[in-house]
């Protein structure tokens, strides 16, 4: 178990949250300091002004630093799906001694990464094993200490645009933070929200924040799909402001106070119920608007967001494979009736509205849907009880792995296997498509033509 002191930063478009934490002796996460600041210089998941964004990050970090003198050993920061692309790959290596150690696990993961075609202006953020295969045993969750002569892996790779990552690094440098790891926002949410059953049967997490909606489908211990739409709860505020000619702060209050997606009870006529709102430009005077009108505007936007997500999931072919259903989180999940509307939009797929695992502490309430990402970052950085992964430094992560064990000789391409070439073609096709988060659907032709059963197994998952 690691006892390093971690700084986690969630860069949202509404607020920036910084948390300093380390593990207690009993392995529980101990929060040492927290800070939040209003988000500035960030829009729709991307840094739009480095100077301003750095200041906002600095504010949050300094507040957190104010309550602890611990030296920070490492840091993790969330990145938005706005500039990421996901792809799949396969790797296989021989096991010379017949016993699988972390050396072979690292090698096979590096091989899968090597086999993937990463577009030049993109950098690797995560390489996650969807499953391993040891000789003929498929679906191996953790191959460590298993006996076998060949180890194979199917991975999901998250890549992110280098320029966007450089902007985040520059903003952090101005604050004096050396970055350790980037973590995909949706992946962090999935880590903080999903339980064992949901992981096992597969679930999709939808995090609806201020200006972004991030979604990640998760199965086993890997992302199998990630997507993003640049729309969030601020759009509702904007719609209300524009359509009702009222200032944004009044529109935000209307949204929080009167937002309700449930059909009103028949005895209640919402067209009669009126609300007084200030007029834009002349805030002394007010106008009256019916509750029904307010709720219709809100309903239209939320329905649109959910339908957009549904369409993306449908295109990816993933929706049929998310056995445990959909988990909704993020600030907008607090809107009354969102569960019912989502159940309708997603055609009776089980819907759960969730807050992250509550880490008890004296500083900040984590039992809140806007905290999913930051809690996920803390687990990512401090909880070693997860599966293997190559992180954004392409280093193998897993329970207290000794550094020496991770230095692996450069991966050599062993027998150039046909299936890997085929896979490359597939991935290239994916990348050429404009919406590259969309995964390739496998044609029958591919399945039949010598792509091993291994690959067929992968296809079943999508
Ligand atoms: N009851 C509510 N109904 C609808 N929206 C709400 C409610 N409460 C908060 N919100 C909205 O949630 C948003 C903030 O959520 P969150 O903190 O998850 O966003 P963020 O992470 O900063 O943004 P992003 O993820 O888009 O970068 C704000 O737009 C706020 O108006
Ligand atoms: Mg967020």
Amino acid 221: pLDDT? 78
Global confidence as pTM: 0.86
189 CA to centre of ligand 1 in angstroms: 14
- For the stretch 19-56, pLDDT in tens is 999 998 877 899 999 999 999 999 888 899 999 999 99
Q: For residue 290, how many other CB atoms are within 10 A of its CB?
A: 15
pLDDT at 376 over 80: yes
To test ligand 1's pocket by mutation, which of 210, 229, 306, 356 has the most ligand atoms within 8 angstroms of CB? 210
247 CA to centre of ligand 1 in angstroms: 18
49 CA to centre of ligand 1 in angstroms: 21
pLDDT at 432 over 60: no
For the residues 69-85, what does the mean pLDDT come to?
Answer: 93
| Measured distance CA(204)–CA(196) in Å, rounded | 14
85 CA to centre of ligand 2 in angstroms: 18
Least confident of 40-49, 59-68, 300-309, 417-426: 417-426
Amino acid 231: pLDDT? 96
Mean of the per-residue pLDDT values of the chain: 84
Task: Spell out which residues line ligand 1, taking CB within 6 angstroms.
Answer: 12-15, 39, 45, 209-212, 232-234, 252, 255-256, 259, 330-332, 334-335, 370
For the residues 241-254, what does the mean pLDDT come to?
Answer: 96
pLDDT at 79 over 90: yes
Ligand closest in space to the Cα of 15 = 1
Ligand closest in space to the Cα of 45 = 1
* Nearest residue by C-alpha to atom 8 in ligand 1: 331
Amino acid 399: pLDDT? 41
| Measured distance CA(60)–CA(78) in Å, rounded | 14
For the residues 362-377, what does the mean pLDDT come to?
Answer: 94
pLDDT at 137 over 70: yes
pLDDT at 8 over 80: yes
Pairing of strands 84-94, 15-23: unpaired
40 CA to centre of ligand 2 in angstroms: 14
For the residues 119-133, what does the mean pLDDT come to?
Answer: 94
Kindly list the distances between the CA atom of residue 355 and the CA atoms of 27, 194, 278, 305, in Å, as whole numbers in the listed order.
22, 10, 34, 20
Buried b (16+ CB within 10 A) or exposed e, 19-36: bbbbbeeeeebebbbbbb
322 CA to centre of ligand 1 in angstroms: 25
* Nearest residue by C-alpha to atom 5 in ligand 1: 332
Amino acid 322: pLDDT? 73
* Nearest residue by C-alpha to atom 21 in ligand 1: 12
More confident residue, 415 or 313: 313
Amino acid 1: pLDDT? 55
Atom of ligand 1 nearest to the CA of 39: 22
Nearest to 333 by CA among 208, 162, 246, 443: 208
Q: Is the dihedral of CA 169, 172, 177, 181 positive or negative?
A: negative
Assign 268 a pLDDT band (cuts: 50, 70, 90): low
């Amino acid at each position: 178990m690691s006892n390093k002191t971690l700084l986690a930063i969630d860069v949202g478009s509404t607020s920036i949250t910084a948390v300093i934490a380390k593990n207690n002796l009993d392995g529980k996460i101990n929060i040492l300091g927290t800070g939040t600041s209003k988000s500035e210089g960030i829009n729709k998941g991307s840094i739009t002004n480095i100077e301003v964004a750095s200041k906002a990050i600095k504010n949050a970090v300094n507040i957190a630093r104010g309550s602890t003198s611990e030296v920070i050993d490492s840091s993790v920061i969330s990145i938005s799906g706005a500039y990421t692309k996901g792809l799949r790959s396969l790797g296989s290596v021989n096991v010379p001694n017949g016993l699988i150690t972390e050396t072979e696990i690292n090698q096979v993961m590096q091989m899968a990464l090597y086999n993937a075609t990463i577009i030049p202006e993109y950098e690797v953020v995560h390489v996650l094993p969807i499953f391993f295969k040891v000789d003929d045993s498929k679906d191996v969750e953790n191959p460590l200490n298993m006996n076998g002569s060949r180890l194979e892996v199917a991975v999901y790779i998250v890549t992110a645009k280098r320029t966007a990552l450089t902007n985040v690094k520059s903003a952090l440098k101005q604050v004096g933070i050396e970055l350790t790891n980037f973590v995909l926002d949706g992946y962090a949410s999935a880590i903080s929200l999903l339980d064992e059953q949901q992981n096992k049967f597969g679930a999709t997490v939808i995090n609806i924040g201020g200006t972004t909606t991030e979604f990640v489908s998760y199965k086993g211990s890997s992302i199998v799909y990630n997507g993003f739409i640049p729309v969030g709860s601020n759009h509702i505020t904007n719609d209300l402001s524009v359509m009702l000619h009222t200032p944004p702060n009044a529109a935000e209050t209307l949204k929080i106070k009167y937002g309700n997606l449930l059909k009103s009870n028949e005895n209640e006529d919402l067209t009669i119920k009126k609300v007084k709102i200030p007029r834009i430009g002349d805030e002394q005077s007010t106008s009256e608007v019916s509750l029904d009108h307010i709720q219709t505007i809100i309903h239209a936007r939320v329905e649109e967001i959910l339908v957009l997500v549904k369409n993306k999931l449908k295109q990816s072919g993933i929706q049929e494979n998310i056995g445990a259903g959909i988990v909704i989180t993020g600030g907008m999940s607090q809107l009354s009736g969102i569960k019912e509307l989502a159940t309708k939009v997603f055609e009776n797929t089980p819907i759960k509205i969730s807050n992250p695992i509550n880490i008890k502490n004296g500083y900040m309430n984590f039992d809140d849907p806007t905290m999913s990402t930051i809690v996920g970052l803390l687990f990512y950085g401090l909880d070693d009880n997860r599966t293997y992964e190559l992180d954004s430094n392409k280093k193998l992560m897993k329970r207290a792995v000794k550094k020496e064990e991770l230095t692996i000789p450069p991966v050599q391409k062993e027998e150039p296997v046909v299936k890997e070439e085929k896979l490359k073609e597939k991935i290239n096709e994916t990348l050429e498509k404009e919406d590259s988060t969309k995964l390739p659907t496998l044609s029958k032709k591919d399945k039949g033509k010598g792509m091993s059963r291994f690959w067929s197994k992968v296809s079943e998952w999508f």
